[in-house]
């Protein structure tokens, strides 16, 4: 059984369990702290899942990847501590029953990290680097996955410079992890590399740098995208019902379901030549089942 199978068999929450889940106003505030193709052939049925974007509170990978291991977010994690390891890329402290990691490189060498983990006895811990937009703030994509139900990880991007100069991101993990565990960190994508998670298409250096599509009609926004020789994909942002505040996101929506007059909320890119337009349905529109 490989690690992926082991993680999945032990996981409390799987990706499919998050399908169609909503983002609440509180969740939106959280991510603010950290971060179908228009069919030429027969349109495929729309898929529904929670999309991690800079305006949605998913803590990057954290919500989707908090499987068997618990994950916590806090503005300040680390109190009294003792340094047990230091290199150019990472400093490790022992804090009670946890190890705290402070990263000073945005794209650390996995071999160096493995060496660091071995030095403190965390041979079961590995790091997977996820390609994200180079414009993403360091540490804005973070996740933890473990077969040990008692293991936990705690993330903080705010307090790490207080402990280590030039620190970019920091997290702590349970010192006594039983079984394999994986930490996932965002790294700047290489030129032409597809992002694992979307970025704002209008950010500097992105496909529509300086172009504002928010507030345009779906038809007008699609025209602008095509003028830049890019393809268009659609998602629908359905407001929660029954008096709840927040949004539920439906992705890969065929163009046949998009009213040309509906307004665009955001435009995202995976750096693959496609711009995902997130459209807000008219209040009178009928959502699909589950929305």
DSSP result, the chain: --HHHHHHHH-SS-GGGGTT-EEEHHHHHHHHHH-----SSSPPPPEE-----TTS-STTTHHHH-SSSEEEE-S----S-EEEEE-SSEEEEEETTEEEEEE--SS--HHHHHHHHHHTT-TTEEEEEEEE-TTSPTT-SEEEEES-TT-EEEEESSSHHHHSTT--EEEEEESS--S-EEEEEEEEPPTTPPPSS-EETTSTTSTTTT---TTSBHHHHHHHHHHTT-EEEEEEEEEP-TT--EEEEEES--GGG--TTSEEEEEEE-SSSEEEEEEEPPTTPPPPTT-
* Confidence band, pLDDT 50/70/90 cuts, at residue 80: low
Question: Which tops the pLDDT comparison, 39 or 85?
Answer: 85
C-alpha to C-alpha distance for 12 and 188, rounded to whole angstroms? 30
Q: What pLDDT, on a 0 to 100 scale, did the predictor assign at position 117?
A: 87
Q: Is the pLDDT of residue 242 over 50?
A: yes
Average pLDDT, the chain: 75
C-alpha to C-alpha distance for 108 and 145, rounded to whole angstroms? 19
- Record the pTM: 0.63
Question: Which tops the pLDDT comparison, 94 or 20?
Answer: 94
C-alpha to C-alpha distance for 156 and 167, rounded to whole angstroms? 11
Q: What pLDDT, on a 0 to 100 scale, did the predictor assign at position 240?
A: 85
Q: Is the pLDDT of residue 53 over 60?
A: no
Residues 112-132 pLDDT 10s? 888 888 888 888 888 888 899
Q: What is the dihedral of CA 256, 261, 267, 268, to 10 degrees?
A: -10
Q: What pLDDT, on a 0 to 100 scale, did the predictor assign at position 238?
A: 93
Cβ atoms of residues 165 and 85 within 8 Å: no
Question: Which tops the pLDDT comparison, 270 or 11?
Answer: 270
Q: What pLDDT, on a 0 to 100 scale, did the predictor assign at position 111?
A: 83
Tokens of 239: 């407001």
Residues 7-47 pLDDT 10s? 444 443 344 444 444 454 444 444 444 443 333 333 444 43
């Amino acid at each position: 059984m490989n690690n992926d199978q082991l993680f999945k068999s032990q996981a409390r929450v799987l990706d499919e369990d998050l399908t169609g889940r909503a983002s609440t106003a509180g969740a939106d505030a959280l991510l603010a702290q950290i971060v179908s193709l228009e069919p030429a052939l027969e349109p495929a049925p729309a898929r529904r899942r929670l999309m991690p974007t800079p305006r949605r509170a998913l803590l990057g990978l954290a919500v989707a990847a908090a499987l068997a291991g618990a994950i916590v977010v806090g503005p300040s994690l680390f109190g009294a501590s003792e340094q047990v390891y230091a290199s150019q890329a990472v400093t490790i402290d022992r804090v009670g029953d946890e190890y705290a990691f402070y990263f000073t490189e945005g794209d650390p060498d996995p071999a160096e990290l493995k060496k660091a983990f071995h030095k403190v006895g965390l041979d079961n811990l590995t790091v997977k680097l996820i390609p994200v937009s180079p414009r993403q703030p360091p540490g804005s994509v973070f996740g933890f996955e473990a077969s040990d139900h008692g293991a936990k990880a705690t993330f903080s991007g705010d307090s790490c410079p207080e402990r280590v100069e030039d620190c970019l991101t920091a997290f702590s993990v349970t010192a006594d992890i039983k079984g394999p565990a994986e930490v996932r960190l965002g790294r700047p994508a290489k030129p032409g590399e597809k992002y694992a998670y979307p970025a704002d298409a209008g950010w500097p250096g992105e496909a529509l740098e300086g172009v504002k599509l928010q507030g345009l009609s779906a038809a007008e926004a699609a025209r602008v995208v095509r003028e830049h020789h890019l393809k268009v994909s659609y998602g629908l942002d359905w407001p929660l019902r029954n008096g709840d505040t927040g949004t539920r996101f439906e992705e890969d929506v065929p163009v046949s379901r998009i009213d040309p007059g509906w307004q665009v909320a955001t435009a995202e890119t995976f750096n693959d030549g496609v711009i995902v337009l997130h459209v807000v349905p008219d209040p009178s529109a009928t959502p699909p089942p589950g929305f």
